[in-house]
Chains A and B, each alone.
Chain A
Amino acid sequence: DADVTQTPRNRITKTGKRIMLECSQTKGHDRMYWYRQDPGLGLQLIYYSFDVKDINKGEISDGYSVSRQAQAKFSLSLESAIPNQTALYFCATFDGNTGELFFGEGSRLTVL
Protein backbone atom coordinates (compact mmCIF):
# COMPACT_ATOMS: atom_id res chain seq x y z
CA ASP A 1 0.00 0.00 0.00
CA ALA A 2 1.13 3.52 -0.76
CA ASP A 3 2.33 5.66 2.15
CA VAL A 4 0.31 8.62 0.87
CA THR A 5 -3.07 7.67 -0.59
CA GLN A 6 -5.35 9.92 -2.55
CA THR A 7 -8.99 9.31 -3.47
CA PRO A 8 -10.49 9.53 -5.99
CA ARG A 9 -7.72 9.01 -8.55
CA ASN A 10 -9.88 10.32 -11.36
CA ARG A 11 -13.05 12.40 -11.25
CA ILE A 12 -15.13 14.11 -13.89
CA THR A 13 -17.67 16.62 -12.65
CA LYS A 14 -19.76 19.55 -13.81
CA THR A 15 -19.42 23.26 -13.19
CA GLY A 16 -20.93 24.28 -9.86
CA LYS A 17 -20.63 20.90 -8.16
CA ARG A 18 -18.91 20.44 -4.82
CA ILE A 19 -15.93 18.11 -4.91
CA MET A 20 -13.78 16.67 -2.15
CA LEU A 21 -10.37 15.11 -2.68
CA GLU A 22 -9.13 13.04 0.21
CA CYS A 23 -5.61 12.26 1.34
CA SER A 24 -4.43 9.88 4.02
CA GLN A 25 -0.89 8.99 5.07
CA THR A 26 0.81 6.31 7.10
CA LYS A 27 4.19 8.03 7.37
CA GLY A 28 3.43 9.75 10.65
CA HIS A 29 4.41 13.18 9.34
CA ASP A 30 2.85 16.29 10.84
CA ARG A 31 3.17 18.49 7.76
CA MET A 32 0.87 17.93 4.80
CA TYR A 33 0.39 19.84 1.56
CA TRP A 34 -1.95 20.11 -1.42
CA TYR A 35 -0.41 21.02 -4.76
CA ARG A 36 -1.98 21.54 -8.15
CA GLN A 37 -0.16 20.72 -11.39
CA ASP A 38 -1.05 22.17 -14.78
CA PRO A 39 0.88 21.40 -17.98
CA GLY A 40 3.84 23.76 -18.31
CA LEU A 41 3.26 25.38 -14.92
CA GLY A 42 4.87 22.98 -12.52
CA LEU A 43 3.43 22.44 -9.06
CA GLN A 44 1.60 25.25 -7.29
CA LEU A 45 0.84 25.17 -3.56
CA ILE A 46 -2.84 25.42 -2.63
CA TYR A 47 -2.87 24.83 1.15
CA TYR A 48 -0.56 23.37 3.75
CA SER A 49 -0.92 22.21 7.32
CA PHE A 50 1.69 21.93 10.06
CA ASP A 51 -0.65 19.99 12.34
CA VAL A 52 -4.37 19.50 12.99
CA LYS A 53 -4.82 23.03 14.33
CA ASP A 54 -2.48 24.86 11.95
CA ILE A 55 -3.69 25.36 8.37
CA ASN A 56 -2.28 27.91 5.97
CA LYS A 57 -3.07 29.24 2.53
CA GLY A 58 -0.66 28.70 -0.31
CA GLU A 59 -0.19 30.78 -3.43
CA ILE A 60 -3.43 29.70 -5.17
CA SER A 61 -5.98 29.06 -2.41
CA ASP A 62 -8.91 30.98 -3.93
CA GLY A 63 -11.79 28.63 -4.73
CA TYR A 64 -10.45 25.89 -2.45
CA SER A 65 -10.83 24.93 1.20
CA VAL A 66 -9.23 22.21 3.31
CA SER A 67 -9.88 20.19 6.41
CA ARG A 68 -7.30 18.41 8.58
CA GLN A 69 -9.40 15.78 10.28
CA ALA A 70 -6.48 14.03 11.96
CA GLN A 71 -2.72 13.89 11.69
CA ALA A 72 -3.13 11.31 8.95
CA LYS A 73 -5.93 12.94 6.95
CA PHE A 74 -6.02 16.14 4.92
CA SER A 75 -8.89 16.84 2.53
CA LEU A 76 -9.21 19.42 -0.23
CA SER A 77 -12.63 20.76 -1.25
CA LEU A 78 -13.83 22.71 -4.23
CA GLU A 79 -17.08 24.30 -3.07
CA SER A 80 -18.28 25.17 -6.57
CA ALA A 81 -16.04 23.68 -9.24
CA ILE A 82 -15.20 25.66 -12.36
CA PRO A 83 -13.51 24.48 -15.59
CA ASN A 84 -10.18 26.20 -14.87
CA GLN A 85 -9.83 23.99 -11.80
CA THR A 86 -9.30 21.08 -14.17
CA ALA A 87 -5.86 19.83 -13.17
CA LEU A 88 -3.84 17.10 -11.50
CA TYR A 89 -3.86 17.46 -7.72
CA PHE A 90 -1.18 16.06 -5.44
CA CYS A 91 -1.16 15.60 -1.72
CA ALA A 92 2.23 15.41 -0.02
CA THR A 93 3.76 14.92 3.40
CA PHE A 94 7.04 16.37 4.64
CA ASP A 95 9.82 14.49 6.39
CA GLY A 96 11.44 17.02 8.70
CA ASN A 97 14.53 14.83 9.13
CA THR A 98 15.43 14.55 5.46
CA GLY A 99 13.64 17.56 3.95
CA GLU A 100 11.85 15.29 1.50
CA LEU A 101 8.29 15.65 0.24
CA PHE A 102 6.45 12.37 -0.26
CA PHE A 103 3.71 12.65 -2.85
CA GLY A 104 0.53 10.71 -3.30
CA GLU A 105 -0.30 9.23 -6.70
CA GLY A 106 -2.38 12.22 -7.71
CA SER A 107 -6.04 12.94 -8.35
CA ARG A 108 -6.96 13.96 -11.87
CA LEU A 109 -9.97 16.27 -11.82
CA THR A 110 -11.89 17.35 -14.90
CA VAL A 111 -14.56 20.03 -14.58
CA LEU A 112 -16.90 20.27 -17.55
Chain B
Amino acid sequence: QKEVEQNSGPLSVPEGAIASLNCTYSDRGSQSFFWYRQYSGKSPELIMFIYSNGDKEDGRFTAQLNKASQYVSLLIRDSQPSDSATYLCADMEYGNKLVFGAGTILRVKS
Protein backbone atom coordinates (compact mmCIF):
# COMPACT_ATOMS: atom_id res chain seq x y z
CA GLN B 1 0.00 0.00 0.00
CA LYS B 2 1.47 3.29 -1.09
CA GLU B 3 1.75 6.07 1.45
CA VAL B 4 2.08 9.80 0.92
CA GLU B 5 3.17 12.03 3.76
CA GLN B 6 2.64 15.78 4.08
CA ASN B 7 3.13 18.23 6.91
CA SER B 8 -0.38 19.34 7.88
CA GLY B 9 0.75 22.92 8.58
CA PRO B 10 -0.54 25.49 8.59
CA LEU B 11 2.23 27.06 6.56
CA SER B 12 2.01 30.83 6.80
CA VAL B 13 3.77 33.09 4.31
CA PRO B 14 3.49 36.82 3.61
CA GLU B 15 1.96 38.01 0.38
CA GLY B 16 4.54 38.07 -2.42
CA ALA B 17 6.77 35.42 -0.83
CA ILE B 18 7.54 31.93 -2.13
CA ALA B 19 5.52 29.15 -0.52
CA SER B 20 7.21 25.75 -0.46
CA LEU B 21 5.03 22.68 0.04
CA ASN B 22 6.59 19.27 0.47
CA CYS B 23 5.55 15.65 0.16
CA THR B 24 7.32 12.30 0.57
CA TYR B 25 6.16 8.97 -0.81
CA SER B 26 6.79 5.36 0.14
CA ASP B 27 6.90 3.49 -3.18
CA ARG B 28 10.27 3.82 -4.87
CA GLY B 29 8.70 2.63 -8.12
CA SER B 30 6.12 5.41 -8.28
CA GLN B 31 6.15 7.40 -11.51
CA SER B 32 3.35 9.98 -11.46
CA PHE B 33 2.58 12.68 -8.93
CA PHE B 34 -0.16 15.25 -8.71
CA TRP B 35 -0.80 18.42 -6.77
CA TYR B 36 -4.40 19.36 -6.05
CA ARG B 37 -5.66 22.54 -4.40
CA GLN B 38 -8.74 22.45 -2.20
CA TYR B 39 -10.46 25.57 -0.91
CA SER B 40 -12.41 25.20 2.31
CA GLY B 41 -15.71 23.45 1.67
CA LYS B 42 -14.92 22.88 -2.00
CA SER B 43 -13.75 19.97 -4.10
CA PRO B 44 -10.09 19.42 -5.03
CA GLU B 45 -8.86 20.78 -8.35
CA LEU B 46 -5.70 19.83 -10.21
CA ILE B 47 -2.84 22.33 -10.21
CA MET B 48 0.00 20.30 -11.70
CA PHE B 49 1.29 16.84 -12.37
CA ILE B 50 4.87 15.69 -12.75
CA TYR B 51 6.28 12.44 -14.14
CA SER B 52 9.99 13.12 -14.60
CA ASN B 53 12.82 13.96 -12.26
CA GLY B 54 13.54 17.66 -12.06
CA ASP B 55 11.36 20.73 -12.26
CA LYS B 56 8.16 21.53 -14.11
CA GLU B 57 6.93 25.10 -14.26
CA ASP B 58 3.46 26.46 -14.98
CA GLY B 59 2.99 30.15 -14.33
CA ARG B 60 3.64 30.88 -10.66
CA PHE B 61 3.78 27.17 -9.83
CA THR B 62 6.79 24.86 -10.00
CA ALA B 63 6.64 21.18 -9.19
CA GLN B 64 9.85 19.39 -8.30
CA LEU B 65 10.41 15.64 -8.24
CA ASN B 66 13.41 13.88 -6.74
CA LYS B 67 12.98 10.13 -7.19
CA ALA B 68 16.22 9.25 -5.41
CA SER B 69 14.95 10.96 -2.26
CA GLN B 70 11.29 10.05 -2.90
CA TYR B 71 10.36 13.66 -2.52
CA VAL B 72 7.92 15.92 -4.36
CA SER B 73 7.50 19.63 -3.79
CA LEU B 74 5.37 22.50 -5.02
CA LEU B 75 6.68 26.05 -5.07
CA ILE B 76 4.28 28.96 -5.38
CA ARG B 77 5.99 32.21 -6.35
CA ASP B 78 4.54 35.64 -5.57
CA SER B 79 2.01 34.08 -3.19
CA GLN B 80 -1.38 35.75 -3.08
CA PRO B 81 -4.12 35.61 -0.43
CA SER B 82 -6.19 33.72 -3.01
CA ASP B 83 -3.61 30.91 -2.81
CA SER B 84 -4.72 30.21 0.76
CA ALA B 85 -6.06 26.65 0.64
CA THR B 86 -5.19 23.06 1.43
CA TYR B 87 -2.72 21.49 -1.00
CA LEU B 88 -2.97 17.76 -1.57
CA CYS B 89 -0.12 15.67 -2.95
CA ALA B 90 -1.05 12.41 -4.67
CA ASP B 91 0.75 9.36 -6.03
CA MET B 92 -0.83 7.30 -8.79
CA GLU B 93 -1.28 3.56 -8.28
CA TYR B 94 -1.96 0.89 -10.88
CA GLY B 95 -5.51 1.32 -12.13
CA ASN B 96 -5.28 5.10 -12.19
CA LYS B 97 -6.03 5.30 -8.49
CA LEU B 98 -4.68 8.31 -6.67
CA VAL B 99 -3.31 7.90 -3.14
CA PHE B 100 -3.52 11.24 -1.39
CA GLY B 101 -1.57 12.75 1.43
CA ALA B 102 -3.48 14.42 4.24
CA GLY B 103 -2.78 17.85 2.79
CA THR B 104 -0.94 20.99 3.88
CA ILE B 105 -2.87 24.11 4.85
CA LEU B 106 -1.34 27.24 3.31
CA ARG B 107 -2.17 30.70 4.62
CA VAL B 108 -0.97 33.75 2.71
CA LYS B 109 -1.09 36.90 4.82
CA SER B 110 -1.72 40.25 3.16
Contacts and interface: CB of A to CB of B under 8 A. Distances in A.
Nearest to B1: A59
A42 B88 contact: yes
A99 B88 contact: no
A59 B95 CA distance: 13
Interface residues of B, number: 24
Contacts, number: 52
Contacts of A105: 42-43
In this complex, the interface size class of chain A, counting residues with CB under 8 Å from chain B, is 20 to 34
B100 A42 contact: yes
A43 B44 contact: yes
Nearest to A43: B100
B95 A99 contact: no
Given A48-B95, A103-B44, A104-B43, A42 B34 contact: no
A52 B4 CA distance: 30
A43 B88 contact: yes
A24 to B, nearest CB: 15
Given A42-B88, A43-B44, A101 B98 contact: yes
The binding surface of chain A is classed by DSSP as: strand
A50 B99 CA distance: 17
Contacts of B55: none
Contact of A56 (B92, B95, B100, B103): B95
A31 B4 CA distance: 23
Contacts of A50: 95
Given A40-B8, A40-B102, A59-B1, A96 B96 contact: yes
A31 B101 contact: no
